[in-house]
């Protein structure tokens, strides 16, 4: 009689272990649903900010979904020995542009740390470094292209601080 009891105990223990594994997998999957997913991105240079786009703002943030809107915000800057990385002609077929702009008496260098999406919100994390000037004013843009997607918002996180959240127009 003891043999069937041991077999039953082994079956029960196996069932409990399977149940615990299934619960772990389910809760692990639920936790992963809220985790960030990296978004591929490209940065572009060689553009100036139009003096008609929010000229009095110290900082601007914008989501651009077509070339006409891009052209209202930015112009192409040409200099000798230009090595700027400009947008490809068909970029808006599969991408949208997210941009941060700093204006003032300092050149602003941007460095993108991460672009990720969490629950439909794109998070653009970047660092800034400023080089003061006593004689000039600047409008320095960070221009980032990301694949089009079902995004509800873009969060601009500068030096660890959320500077602005914009809603993505449908």
pLDDT digits (tens, 9 = 90+) for 127-157: 999 999 999 999 999 999 999 999 999 999 9
User: Where along the chain do its domains lie?
Assistant: 1-33, 37-167
> What's the distance, Cα to Cα, between the start and end of the chain in Å?
70
pLDDT in tens, 71-115: 999 999 888 888 889 999 999 999 999 999 999 999 999 999 999
Q: Identify the pLDDT of residue 34.
A: 64
Sequence-separated (6 or more) residues with CB below 8 Å from residue 59: 100, 101, 102, 103, 163, 164
CA distance 107 to 79: 17
């Amino acid at each position: 009689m003891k043999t069937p009891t041991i077999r039953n105990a082994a079956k029960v223990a196996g069932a409990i272990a399977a149940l615990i594994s299934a619960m772990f997998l389910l809760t692990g999957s639920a936790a992963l649903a809220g985790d960030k997913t990296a978004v591929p991105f490209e940065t572009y240079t060689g553009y100036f900010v139009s003096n008609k786009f929010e000229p009095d703002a110290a900082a601007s943030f914008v989501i651009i979904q077509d070339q006409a809107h891009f052209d209202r915000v930015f112009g192409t800057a040409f200099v000798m020995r230009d090595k700027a990385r400009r947008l490809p002609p068909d970029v808006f077929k599969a991408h949208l542009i997210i941009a941060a702009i700093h204006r003032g008496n300092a050149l602003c260098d941007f460095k993108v740390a991460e672009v990720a999406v969490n629950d439909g919100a794109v998070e653009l994390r970047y660092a800034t470094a400023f080089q003061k000037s006593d004689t000039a004013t600047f409008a320095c843009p960070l221009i980032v292209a990301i694949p089009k997607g079902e995004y509800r918002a873009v969060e601009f996180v500068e030096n660890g601080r959320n500077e602005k959240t914009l809603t993505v127009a449908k």
